[in-house]
Amino acid sequence: MQTRTLGNSNLQVSAIGLGCMGMSFSYGAPKDRQEMIALLRAAVDRGVTFFDTAEVYGPYTNEDLLGEALAPVRDQVVLATKFGFLMKPDGTPGWQGISSHPDTIRKAVEGSLKRLRVECIDLLYQHRVDPNVPIEDVAGTVKDLIQQGKVKHFGLSEAGAGTIRRAHAVQPVTALQSEYSLWWRRPEQEIVPLLEELGIGFVPYSPLGKGFLTGAISATTELASNDFRSTLPRFTAEAREANQAVVDLLAAIAAQKNATPAQIALAWLLAQKPWIVPIPGTTKLSRLEENLGAASVTLTAADLTAIDEAAQKITLVGDRYPEHIEKMTGI
């Protein structure tokens, strides 16, 4: 597996990471723990060194899963987790608000350290910007945690350009994690140029459009009620039917490259900038291997131009999130 460095930092990771949320949260019922431990270790065996989790995934159970699975190879991997959501008092999935109060951050980090079974978190993200806490206070708190040896690198998630710049002035930001793919390209407007200017790495989540860009989901696919995609405007049957054009585009390129649509979607992201590291999630070994194969797919400048020109002719249907969730993002 090729490696990449996140921005101007010294944090080197596999060119493709593994988003672990779906193992415990959001995509239907949690998956079998032992099967997921085996999958996580299989990822390490195949060269993955970058694993993404958060305290809200479960809540808490995803961090605990990674802690157990990756303890034997701790020195070989980079663990990224996040703070910022207020969990429900009864421990059920979901959240009841956001908070990045300094005391909340410190408490979250202590919990994450225990569940991940580590002495130091490699990359700590603010999961969502808290409008009630100045970002300078957030960055300052993480800076203190770095000085205490509990955190190595600071990250932001779904933050806007102004927030990123202000945070970076207090504590250098190593990476921004935000949604980015061929069907969500808004970061290209302000965020990608800013990250290049400041030397910050980009970690796209949902690089496969929450599974849609793999071609495995169609207008007739039945989404379970406990699959959060069933609540997303872009995943209504009508939107999926309209947006099939993006998958068809990927499939056409894939046929020329002896690849799959998912591999083309990931290869397209890798080709955008050398400091972009997508983190596709999966719960299946076959999909893991397919995703990792994208690192071996080469897209030429002509390929990228053709993809871009074709994509510009497609009008995507449906917002990516319901309005109340979209308001929590800054991009």
Residues with Cβ within 8 Å of 45's Cβ and at least 6 positions away in sequence, in order, are none
With residues binned 3-state (H G I as helix, E B as strand, rest as coil), the percentages for the chain, rounded to 5, are: 45, 15, 35
Length of the chain: 331
Are 162 and 119 in contact by the 8 Å Cβ rule? The answer is: no
List the catalytic residue out of 27, 57, 60, 205: 57
For the question of residue 57 being annotated catalytic, the response is yes
The Cα-based distances of 171 to 135, 152, 180, 293, 326 in angstroms read 10, 11, 24, 35, 26
What is the widest separation between alpha-carbon atoms in the chain? 54
Q: Which residue has the tokens 């390129």?
A: 253
Residue 4 dihedral angles phi and psi, to the nearest 5°: -140, 155
Residues tagged active-site: 57
